[in-house]
Structure 1
Amino acid sequence: MAYEAVESLQQTLRIILLRDDGLITPLVKQRIISIHDKAVGLQLNLKHFSEKEIIREVANASEEIIQFLFSPQNLSDCESIDSTVRLSDQLGELAEELESTVGYVIDYCKINGHSVRQQSDVAVGFDEGLSDSTAATSSSGPASTSRYFVADFAEDPSIYPPMSRDDVVGFDEDKAQMMDRITDNSYSNREILPIVGMGGIGKSTLAKYVYDDPMIIDQYDIRAWVTISQDYSIPSILSQLLASLNGKVHQVGRDYSLIVIEAEKLEIYKILLGRRYLIVMDNVWSVEAWDHVQRLFPNNRNGSRIILTTRLMDVASYAANSWDIHMMRFLDDEQSWCLFHRKVFGDQDCPHELRSVGEKIVKGCGGLPLSIVTVAGLLSRIPRTPKLWQQIEVNDGQLGSILSLSYNHLPPHLRKCLLYMAGFPQDYEILASELIKLWVAEGFLECQNEFESIEMAAEECLEDLIKQSLVLNTSRKSDGKTKSCRLHSMVRDFCVRLAGQEKFLLSAMDYFSNPILRRHFLPQILQNHHRISASWHDLYLRDSTYSSCTTSIICIPQRGYRPKCSIENFISLRVLHVLHRNDHSYWELGQVFELIYLTYLASSIPDSIVPPAIAKLQNLQTLIIYRSDVRLPVEIWSLRQLRHLIAFSFCPLLLPGGATISLENLQTLSTATNFVCSKRMVDMIPNIKKLGICYSEEKFGAGHYYIYKLIGLRRVEKLKLEMHGSYVPLLDTFPQLLKKLELNGRWISWKDMTIVGSLPNLQVLKLKNYACYGEQWATTVGEFRKLILLLIDESNLKHWKARGRHFPMLKCLILHRCPYLDEIPEDIGNIPTLELIEIDDHNQSLLHSANKIQATHKKDRIKVVVKRS
């Protein structure tokens, strides 16, 4: 219990340092840090001190004193300068008392022959860990005990040597691919080969691995390596290049005039002219940097190559063709352990008692080589005991510095978008559509021009973060846009720390791993943070909890008992997002509908009926309900700011009586059951862009519901139509701006597909569950002019006649569950843009046809994929 008592004392001190009420003056802060350091000293020497009950009593008493000193009763007159001086004096007295206890413990340990941990050894970084600097040093939230334990042993991360070739693990496939590109003599022109990935993933290591390969050394007349920094200068690049090419030491501090610069450029060009060269441009941060140097490298048409490493996809795409870009992958579990084992144990076996704890530590590195090497370098310097290893977390001071470079490179609005993602749990796959809506609701973005919606601007921001290797794209939609994403564990740790330090967003579960501590301290923390991320249980708050500060809550449901939570006192709440999980947690709607400033609400609800009180939420822009058969009241039409209305399914919408009320801002409506697409309905949602509709046969066939006015929805770009039953509607027209169309169930015959093919803007077409009936499909010239993806999933199609020019822009063809279709039209292979053909593993004839098309054309242009069922 002594260990827990000391840890609780430290947690209390960290909470106090998060206060933002004028009490934490520099002197008070210094006193608190001093007390914390002494608590750490007690904890580090606790193992060798026999009278642990003394330490427990001292820690508990100290915590009670701290809590009293910062209680409302004691701070009733704390606005005066005298009171803060008195507070610092009281804290100083407590620090002195603790000092004597620490001294007693240390003397005891020395007398009994144990090594001693001085608190001065571990105090480094506590002040930094709670400062406003962007280069964070701890691994999860405010500094934790294990972080200081690490600091006791860790050396300056900058002195860790880079991975040698013998230490490289998991790069065999990457090296083979790069070697093939570099040594391929069929490409005589000068080739640019970018390597892209997040900081610490091994881009430079891979480049060095290839650069130093004996085969490469023999094949090239001359090689050079130059590192481009974020704040690069042309003179520095030129001097590095010349030094590398001439084998001389890099000259620093020369006086570079324009004449000298031009002379050195000419000298570099002459050295490379006519020779087969390999140049590595390491760590390129901007297209401008590449523009400044690319003219230095002549195209000798002799197989010269330039390797360019960068975190930024835009730089890579600018410098080379997309098929030349090599994307770095994270190490898998086996590769991660192999690298860790080699760094810690060399050729020796890992002791059995360290295996499980070691694997847990390695798994926390998330497959990032630099993280693994860093923690391995730390563990190789400390005693090999399971108990000691269990207290070690990844010492990511070096990683924090690397990520700070990327973070500082971002414009302010992208920094906000990135830090906001710290509110989602570790390894949580975030739906891009929800993330974009949340960013918009938070007001992080502005439209750049009148032709761009705020959602389009948010999509571009997400792509920018992915291109900068800060956000991982976990899946893409058929149109190439991001469907889901997540943060790498190291990036998320960085964001959690920085978001907390800047009081931008507090991830309560990361800052306080103990739920009891969270429940105790969260009411205090709420007063200082506008945005919080917390579990459902954490928000089971006392009735007296009141927060006029909190504007956003990301709520993380947890399985098991769900207490009745209260948000009625969050009077300024604008965003309430409950993560979509299968435990059906929900808020009391009576409380939610009193939050009149709410702009975003995503949650389950107690039952399928939404009460008329929703009309109180006049600022609501996004409503997402995790439930089917939702019944909306007619009052929904009064929410004039509504932009997105989403549920698993909505019952038929009630229309208001009297004058027509239009939701002019509504962009998304999905999924509407038995939707009445009448002229009046079209007038009420004139600007809808994304529409999902589901019809049932008994209703649709009776003629009560009709869709012939779909063409009136002129702004619809994405349309999903589902038909449950065998009834076939008279479908003869679609909105002309349609970019994505999905038909599910019987909708149209193959011979009538010209209706779809004539859509001028259609890019994605998905035909599922016998969407088209009949056995033959013949396309003609002029159809599907912009179609990029075609999916046919479950069909009776037997004969398909088409020419390549019928689908002039097709990139992806997917054919699943088409048992009667024996072949793909051979001329499909002549489509210049075609990149992928995907077939399931049930139709061997179709697979043979796809392989034949691939063999007839360039094998590296068309990829054939078999989907296993």
Structure 2
Amino acid sequence: MKALQDNNCNRIGLHGMGGAGKTSMAKEVACKLKDSELIDKVIFLVVSKPLDFKKILGELAKALDVDLEKVNEEELSHTICARITHMEEKLLIILDVWEEFDLTKNLGIPSDHQHKSCNILITTRNLRVCTELRCQTIELQTLNDEEALGLFKAHASINKSTRGLKGMPEKIVKHCGGVPVAIVAIARALKNQPTSVWKDALKTLEDHGVDQNLEEAYKCLKLSYDNLKHEKAKELLMISSLFPEDYEIPIQLLIKIGIGLGSCGENDEYHFKRNEVCAAIAELIYSSLLLNGEEECVKMHDLVREVTLWIGDNDIKSIVDLKIAIKKSLRYFLWKNDDFPVEFDGEKLEVLLIFLDGSKDLEVSKNAFLKEMTKLKVLILYCSFYKRIQALSLTNSLQSLKDIRTLILKNLKLGDISILENLLSL
């Protein structure tokens, strides 16, 4: 709070390990500053990996009320810079950042001397980001033992009636490494559980490790995953980790995917399956493995996403770079590129998400890899921009997907789709 009110410093770097609470802290401070009328406008942006400045520029422009239809892409950063420079309001821009970049060149955010009323708050795991962006750095430490135990007890509902645990809460908390996201997840997993479950959890934490800097947090989150009651919840957590970092996942989309992964027949069975999926999503939210997002959406904490991808290493993959090798025998796959792979082993694939930016026409006919996906149950083909693109021969390519149950096509110009009536499992 003090740093952001210091007129001699316009860039603050909040640095700390994953799950320490950097984003929560930044948002809380922003709310307090706005309530006290020390800040007029707050903009929060996630600069995820890999860097996608086109997307971030669009979000920043929208937040600044820039009319995107009247500004071409080449001029957008200059327009944003001019808009911020001439603003009379006090502005706070919060950037969740993984790696360093030029704020002015890439996002149009003016330098310190150009606009004193624009404060930048960077949240990052990487201390070098703070140094490169010339920030006043504040380190957010993990919780000390007393704070960690207090947080754990609050979420595990420990009271006088749970004295039979005999020091197990203290021992379990030690394994959480003071990381709030891990503490809350494991506390909720153990809430109202018998002593035998607590003993098993403690033994698991003591016996199993991973070769990571966040070893203890990983173990705690893995235990929370293992303690999920429903297999459908585990499956949907894997699906959620496919989406990009900080992605707002529509709950209705997760429901459709979850139903598609089941075996739905008559209407009664469909509604039963829907209720089962909704219960699984509710369990994930209660366990803090999914977080409530905006407008009927959920999202994943980046540390939870990392752990989930680590757990499902053999079954799940998100590809945004053509240079990255694609593993064989994947069950869940996200492809975020306009060029499809020429060769792809999709024999065991059950869920395929394809994100396009719409920069060119989609030509499925050149790639016959859909024909190999005989076990595919869910296909989502999504163009992220408003303009529609021509999906040449797409409907013909879908004929081989005899087990497809959920098919979602968005922002695509398709033409005649009558051939889809042959997909009897849809």
TM-score, normalised to structure 1's length? Answer: 0.25
TM-score, normalised to structure 2's length? Answer: 0.48
Larger RCO (CA within 8 A; separation ≥ 6): 2
